Amino acid sequence: MLTIDQVGTVVLRRPAETVPAEQLSSPEVQRLIDDMIDTMSGVGVGLAAPQVGVPLRIAVIEDRKEYQRHSPKWLAEAQQRRPVDLHVVVNPVLSVTDPTPMEFFEGCLSVEGYRAMVPRASGVHLSALDRNGRPIELDASGWYARILQHEIDHLGGVLYVDRMVSRTFITTESYADAWLDEPLDATRAAFGLSPNPS
Ligand code: ZN
């Protein structure tokens, strides 16, 4: 297991570097990818290399069905959250295909103990390489599009706190106790926001 750097660590704020093909196939980088997968497993839906102190454009992503067990069904539907199989993205480039903003609470393994509402585009296109250097081209929507935006932000030194609606910044404990089951409109009103993301 790798140590996950917390906000305040400089590597989280530096743009990561493109991984050359010969470096991607090296035992060191393949080992890093395996260790990132092990470190993410059971605790998060994505992990970017800068979060484990390595300034390379690599992220691992997996959203298991079991991760939704604490979420009300209506919320998973509103979030358009569907399971995503484990995969690795190297040197990813995202383009927005549907800019319609969706605002939901999200968290980050590098900002432990907090959540905030973050507006994200509803749809994106991903161009990347897999861990074997083969090209990936895919379209993502809903929660998967959010995960991709969050992880690829990490590769540019950007954290969700740079994009959040700051008045919704709360502890994970408060989120679980008071807001997880609350209808979205009521939550937005309680935080002084308009009913729909703008
Ligand atoms: Zn994160």
Residue 151 bears catalytic tag: yes
- What is the helix (H) or strand (E) element at residue 90, kind and residue range? strand 84-106
Catalytic residue among 62, 151, 173, 182: 151
Instruction: Please provide residue 129's backbone torsions phi and psi, each rounded to the nearest 5 degrees.
Output: -115, 150
**Can you tell me which residue has the tokens 């089951």?**
181
Ligand 1 (single-atom ion) residues, CB below 5 Å:
108
pTM to 2 decimals? 0.96
**184 Cα: distance to centroid of ligand 1 (angstroms):** 23
How far apart CA 142 and CA 79 sit, in angstroms, is 6
Model confidence at 196, pLDDT cuts 50, 70, 90, reads confident
Please tell me what DSSP assigns to residue 17: B
Residues 111-152 have pLDDT tens digits of 999 999 999 999 999 999 999 999 999 999 999 999 999 999
